[in-house]
Structure 1
């Protein structure tokens, strides 16, 4: 009898990893299937967006060009909503598979994306629903850390403090602006095409509101100082403050939960984050502009 029990124990030890692997493979296939409908919509929208971008580029009539741009904005809105719909399905998927590392992995990927920006509470709820074994795994610990940085950098939180050297060697601290100015932190890089495309728009905001207690701090992720400095000179954006993550050996991008650029954070005079935008889109530009307008009209 004891020999039989020992045999069963040994068998379970050797077969359990195989069973877990089988389950994860099955879960991965299930997840892939759940993504197909939304992926089909995303592919169609991406194709249309590409077509409209080409039409706008070729159109010479201003009125027609504006109409095409409006249509393009609608397509981007639809794409964003489709991504959010998929995220919600992923949340449901993770809830149904609390013992799956694959389900946790998809949560870890989504938590840093644009679509997940307004779902902090849901990410926490879903993560806490995972089994202790999954939560305490290496991926679980990474997810827990991401949630910590997500929490401290989301809208409504006190902005993480920093004291760093700017491009001129002067010290810049976020506390310098408390009770004095609104601060827009713009994470960018000289190699980031969408970041460069937004600079004329950022320059207009600075020109319009700088005299009304508005400051911009650009934070580059460039690895080479000469590329960063050359880009600042070329784009004629010396007017506001510039910091380098690399030059300062800083963690400011991590502290503000930056997983991709452009990434913008608006901080009020009390040091509270009142706006956050990931990626480049007309919607982001419009929201930032409207928020600044409401702030400075109210004062």
Structure 2
């Protein structure tokens, strides 16, 4: 229903040359002023989220509950759009402050979040505008690495290969699915939004499996016993299941996964054609429409 928010730890290690800039009161004040309009909107939306969550918890009528959940989803979508507006402000601020570590940190905090997912080219353009000193700082090097994994996992890129053991000890290799459409669904047994989405994913599988559609579920930060029980309870044993805590940490990094649910759709030729971070009706609708355009047009 609601989008998962991704929280990230930002390092503060950098050369002494930039310590003064980092603590520059004028820069800090500029950023506070820059974010005042979007912060006001975010505060209002956060209040609405809390109100609707309380209403949802108390509502017993299924029809009214569905209406409340749709309304909450709309509020979350408005929140996402507000954060995207703030990100655009951050991009412009960074362009105007190419020698500022703080300006780099403004954009670096969003590079692996839902709101930054469709702005790879802008991240690259803005980052390249920074001075060599900023780009060669610890934060700059970290940004370079982030952009590398962002690039290889975005729509239009060749899907990173992996070969991992599944729940039955059988090797699951992405290469073996060439010629089919594959939905990689990063999830966990403890992830409520992940499991809330399973009914519609089941429908997609039921509708398109015979036409060459497969699902690979990759569990992230889960416990083996709870993971297996969830698979059984949700009746999804016939899908491919991989447990990343054993040997699959590389696939999490390769696909640039920082939060779940996180879905990636790969075409017959191994190209990424769709990517969705978080949950919600918009993501659900986009995936359904893309699947329809693929299988009902062929």
| TM-score between the two structures when normalised by the length of structure 2 | 0.88
Tell whether 2:203 aligns with 1:214.
no
CA deviations over 1:249-271 (Å, ceiling 9, x no partner): 43001101111111000001011
Q: 2:67, 2:227 → 1: CA distance?
A: 36
Say if 1:225 and 1:247, in contact at 8 Å, map to a contact too. no
1:79 is matched with which residue? 79
For residue 168 of structure 1, give the secondary structure of its aligned residue in structure 2: coil
CA deviations over 1:43-77 (Å, ceiling 9, x no partner): 21222233334445516273x55554554443333
2:276 is matched with which residue? 277
Say if 1:100 and 1:134, in contact at 8 Å, map to a contact too. yes
2:194 is matched with which residue? 195
Structure 1 segment 2-17 matched on structure 2, within 5 A: none
Instruction: Report the CA distance between 1:16 and its aligned residue.
Output: 6.3
Say if 1:190 and 1:222, in contact at 8 Å, map to a contact too. no
Flag the 1:93–1:50 CA change in 2: closer, same or farther, 3 A.
same
Say if 1:222 and 1:228, in contact at 8 Å, map to a contact too. no
2:108 is matched with which residue? 108
| TM-score between the two structures when normalised by the length of structure 1 | 0.87
Structure 1 segment 92-241 matched on structure 2, within 5 A: 92-179=92-179, 181-241=180-240
Q: Specify every segment of 5 or more residues in structure 2 that has no aligned partner in the other structure, as ranges.
A: 1-15
- Higher RCO structure (Cα 8 Å, ≥6 apart): 2
CA deviations over 1:11-57 (Å, ceiling 9, x no partner): xxxx966743543x432232123222111101212222333344455
Say if 1:266 and 1:274, in contact at 8 Å, map to a contact too. yes
Q: 1:253, 1:18 → 2: CA distance?
A: 33
For residue 273 of structure 2, give the secondary structure of its aligned residue in structure 1: strand
Aligned length, in residue pairs: 282
Flag the 1:19–1:137 CA change in 2: closer, same or farther, 3 A.
closer
Flag the 1:233–1:135 CA change in 2: closer, same or farther, 3 A.
same
Q: Specify every segment of 5 or more residues in structure 1 that has no aligned partner in the other structure, as ranges.
A: 1-14
Give the superposed CA RMSD: 2.0
Instruction: Report the CA distance between 1:228 and its aligned residue.
Output: 1.8
Q: 2:19, 2:142 → 1: CA distance?
A: 25
Greater shift, 114-123 or 102-111, is seen at 102-111
CA deviations over 1:89-148 (Å, ceiling 9, x no partner): 010111111111111112111000101000000000000011101101111111001101
Q: 1:79, 1:17 → 2: CA distance?
A: 33
Flag the 1:22–1:166 CA change in 2: closer, same or farther, 3 A.
closer
Q: 1:194, 1:121 → 2: CA distance?
A: 29
Flag the 1:52–1:20 CA change in 2: closer, same or farther, 3 A.
closer
Tell whether 2:21 aligns with 1:20.
yes
Greater shift, 214-223 or 130-139, is seen at 214-223
Q: 1:18, 1:193 → 2: CA distance?
A: 42
For residue 185 of structure 2, give the secondary structure of its aligned residue in structure 1: strand
Structure having the larger proportion of residues in helix = 1
Say if 1:45 and 1:75, in contact at 8 Å, map to a contact too. yes
